[in-house]
Amino acid sequence: MPDQSSHQIRVINRNQSFECAEDQVLLVGMERHSAAAISVGCRGGGCGVCKIRILAGEYETKRMSKAHISEAEQQRGYALACRVFPRTDLEIESDHYRAPESSYQQAAVTLSAVKQ
């Protein structure tokens, strides 16, 4: 019998799922299962890298950076996976973070192009 306090998290866009306990945030639950369905950043609600949209299910959140999740977005189900506690099974969509391209990243692209 499945643990009552653990919920199934389905990551629709990556076609993956993992179990997450009620007292765990989604990102930690995912990392504990060695899954790679959500990008991992600071794990503290600050950087925005693990931005997801929750399509179905109930959940609670801890405070998240307003720079990445506005109140309007929060109402539309956007959240940072490192701050979301599941209360039921969830259906989510990951990869909602859009990173600005830095010179370092450009250098990395140049570098890999040279190596190939």
Partner 1 sequence: MRKGVMRPGHIQIRVLDVEEALKHYRDLIGLIEVERDSQGRVYLKGWTEVDKFSVVLREADEPGMDFVGYKVLDNQVLERLHAELIGYGCNVEEIPAGELNGCGRRIRFDSPTGHMFEIYAEKEQTGKWGVGNVNPEAWPRGLKGMKATRFDHCLLYGPNIKGTLDLFRDVLGFELAEQVLDPEGTRIAQFLTVGMKAHDVAFIEHPEPGKFHHASFILDTWEDVLRAADLISMEDVSLDIGPTRHGLTHGKTIYFFDPSGNRSEVFCDGDYHYPDHEPVTWQAEQLGKAIFYHDRVLNDRFLTVLT
**Which residues here bind partner 1, judged by CB under 8 A?**
40-47, 49, 62-67, 82, 99-105, 107-108, 110-111, 114
Phi, psi of 11 (to 5 degrees): -100, 95
Least Å distance between CB 77 and partner 1? 19
Minimum CB distance to partner 1, residue 91 (Å): 25
Closest C-alpha to 86, from 21, 38, 27, 3: 21
Give the Å distances, CA to CA, from 55 to 46, 59, 81, 103.
22, 11, 13, 35
Nearer to partner 1, 42 or 56 (CB): 42
Name the minimum Å distance from CB 50 to partner 1. Answer: 10
Q: Which is nearer to partner 1, 56 or 111 (CB)?
A: 111
Rounded distance between C-alpha atoms, residue 64 and residue 112, angstroms: 35
- Please say which residue, 69 or 92, places its beta carbon nearer to partner 1: 69
